[in-house]
Amino acid sequence: MAALTIEQIPVLRDNYVYLVHDSASGLTAAVDPAVAEPVTAALAVRGWRLTHILNTHHHGDHTGGNLPLKAATGCTIVGHGADAHRIPGIDVAVGDGESFAFGRTAAQIIAVPGHTLGHIAYWFAEARAVFCGDTLFSLGCGRLFEGTAAMMWQSLGRLRQLPDETRVCCAHEYTQSNAAFALTIDPANPALRERAAAVAALRRQGLPTVPSRLGDEKAANPFLRADAPALAAVVGSDDPVAVFGEIRRRKDVF
């Protein structure tokens, strides 16, 4: 049985657009197409026809390609119903807990407010891949533009419940700078030190550091570890929301 094929397209300065292709049905989705042209080119190389756009949130570096791609292909645009007014060209409104059918498989919608209020993640259980936009990054998390620390901590907690082997398909290549910050918070963590070294080696070769593996994020990403004793000690609180909020605040000014 052929699994979904996932292709990663680097665009703009540090964004990733993903193509998700189901060979059995011929469906192809673009996740968060920041721009249209590199997506069109990648589709042409593969001989795929775009049938869907899956948006995690409304920001322009995730939706900028929506309208031109829809005009060119007639694809169906999927996004959070609460953000229908600010997701260009949206056709299908989804919400937390719903399942979005995609060929023989499906994506489960997980509401992950914090970066924006209408942010969602798409969890393809069968393919063990989560498209989490700007919520969970490798060794980091998104800025709190619209939500609170409590909201984001809860959202990250929902992603943390997914299986360790899950591929974290996040939308930006921020890992190396995230690693530098994480080491200021959790310097003695061997999993973080190892991962920081591996990330530096990948970047020296110009290679992507994402998708990462969720199990590695659980061990090394300080934003998933706000309830760990080591981080409570650094911040001087054992309230995970307070610890998370303080780590996020420090990252904002790092």
Q: By C-alpha distance, which of 199, 192, 150, 181 is closest to 251? A: 181
* Contacted entry of Fe ion, Zn ion, none for residue 83, CB cut-off 5 to 8 Å set by kind: none
70 in contact with Zn ion (CB under 5 A): no
Distance CA(15)–CA(11), nearest Å, equals 5
Burial class for 69, CB neighbours closer than 10 Å (0-12, 13-18, 19+): buried
32 binds Fe ion (CB under 5 A): no
**Among the residue ranges 128-136, 155-163, 181-189, 206-214, the one whose residues contact Zn ion (CB under 5 A):** 128-136
**Cβ distance to Zn ion smaller for residue 134 or 186:** 134
x-marked contacts with Fe ion along 90-129 as a string, rule CB under 5 A: ----------------------------------------
Q: Is 186 in the site for Fe ion (CB under 5 A)?
A: no
Would you call 172 a catalytic residue per the annotation? yes
The verdict on 83 binding Fe ion (CB under 5 A) reads no
What's the CA angle centered on 76, arms 130 and 119, to 5 degrees? 40
Residues sharing a CB contact under 8 Å with residue 89, sequence separation 6 or more, in sequence order:
53, 66, 67, 70, 77
**217 touching Zn ion, by CB under 5 A:** no
Query: Which residues ranging from 20 to 59 are in contact with Zn ion (CB under 5 A)?
Result: 59
- Residues near Fe ion, by CB under 5 A: 61, 134
- Residues near Zn ion, by CB under 5 A: 59, 134
Q: Active-site residues: which are they?
A: 57, 59, 61-62, 115, 134, 172
